[in-house]
Amino acid sequence: MPQQKNLLSTIALISGPLLAILLGLLPSPDSAHPHLMLMAGITIWIALWWLTEVIHIAVTSLIPFVILPICGISDIKVVAAQYMDPVLFLFIGGFFLAFAIEHWGLHKRIALKILSVTGRNASMLLLGVMLTAWIISMWISNTATVMMLLSAVLAVIYQIDHHIDNKTHHRKLASALMIGLAYAATIGGMATLVGTPTNMIFYRAYMDAYPTAGDLTFLSWFKIGFPVSALLFFATWLTLRSRIPKKELQGVFDVGVFKEGYKNLGKISPDEKRVGFIFILTAVLWFTRADIPLGTFTIKGWSKLFSNSSQIQDSTVAIFMAILLFIIPSKTMPGKKLLEWKETSKLPYDIILLFGSGFALAKGFEDSGLSNYLAAQLQILQGVNPIWIILMVCVLVTVISEFASNVASIQLVLPILVSLQQAMHLPPLLLMIPATLAASLGFMMPIATAGNTIVFSSGHIKTKEMAVAGFVANLTGIVLITLICYLAFA
């Protein structure tokens, strides 16, 4: 098996650049853009290495920085600027806030409080676990959310063993709790613009393609992302609840383990209060930065207080509030701040590079003329009802995300969707938002998301169980995304 894997890796390693060279040697179908086929080849090369992870995904992400200027497709200063885009600072600032919350244990307090209230029976226990993960993952990395709650859920599974005599019933409940934890963390990330990297990749791609649109803010995303996330969350809870034996649904559990855990945390510390205040203030500033239309009345965004309001973005808020965390002193640890620089060593630089490479590829699409060429070829879809196109896009992205990084899959799809939208004269958000939300629908495979992998490694889940539950969740998600986005934008 290892030899076969090594052979496949070698084939992917060689075939990537070889395909780029072969396509680059073909004559361009557009004489005005001689690099068109070469850019297509480079895209296939990077896509192949991303999807197979023949080398680390971060290393592959550096290829556009080297190859695009060398091939004369884009200027090196322009390519370098894509790796330090303002959206990346939104991502970085969001992580700094999450690090502070984790450092002071505020997330544990929130989790144990919810579980101590909801964990009275199997159905409500499942809801409590999922609700906790769902809420936290709107603001913190989905993977970090699962890791943070994993030990607590494992302790719950151990405790309920004393309440359930039937081992088969216990295993089914344990499986539902673990799957629910992973799925809820993924679903929660769909609700906010900072909930998952794919959302921020879309944000940057949209702002680059439609810089004057002015219709995409933290609040405008929330108006679409939250309903999709909330409905999918409820449907997934019902699906997993149906897998729990009826006898256990009627049983009563002792929530003492959660109450005891919450009690052991002690009184909320001044530093937890300070971090909580910064977090809430950040969310409020994100929601109210731009104008909020309410029918015939509009609430002016606070950014309009500045003459250069267009230069104030969500990333500005994220970094400013993160800086405050490095300035505000800790009351319980004299000489320390709410956030110390050593905490930032956990920053996922691989994802930052992946962001940048996607932006660089999108720039290469534009500079090489590949975007315009694709748009011209997609004219054949004229006249097709947009709802079917949305459905096809959601299915395609979901399937890709089951086997490859959801970040990599959305990076590859968005430039093509921009071309498709322009060719068909569709509303700009009609295809890009569904594709972005669908990129989070990797529920079937244990390798589809880091959360899936983490809970699967616990040993409480069978592959078939995750596949069946994931198929239902994927199908539900595709239908919800298609209908809600069609009604919102078509």
Tell me the percentage of the chain whose pLDDT exceeds 90: 27
Instruction: For residue 134, give the H/E element and its range.
Output: helix 122-137
| Alpha-carbon span 268 to 277, nearest angstrom | 13
**164 pLDDT higher than 80:** no
| Alpha-carbon span 432 to 438, nearest angstrom | 10
In this predicted structure, what is the pLDDT of residue 404? Answer: 64
Tens of pLDDT, residue by residue over 60-82, are 989 999 999 999 999 999 999 98
Highest mean pLDDT among 98-107, 122-131, 231-240, 415-424: 231-240
In this predicted structure, what is the pLDDT of residue 473? Answer: 93
pLDDT bracket for residue 231 (50, 70, 90) = very high
Q: Cβ contacts of residue 432 below 8 Å, gap of 6+?
A: 202, 205, 206, 414, 417, 418, 421
In this predicted structure, what is the pLDDT of residue 254? Answer: 65
Tens of pLDDT, residue by residue over 359-407, are 788 788 888 988 777 766 666 766 788 899 899 889 888 887 776 667 7
Tens of pLDDT, residue by residue over 441-457, are 988 877 677 788 778 87
**22 pLDDT higher than 90:** yes
Name the CA radius of gyration of the chain, rounded.
24
Report yes or no: 97 and 146 within 8 Å, Cβ to Cβ: no
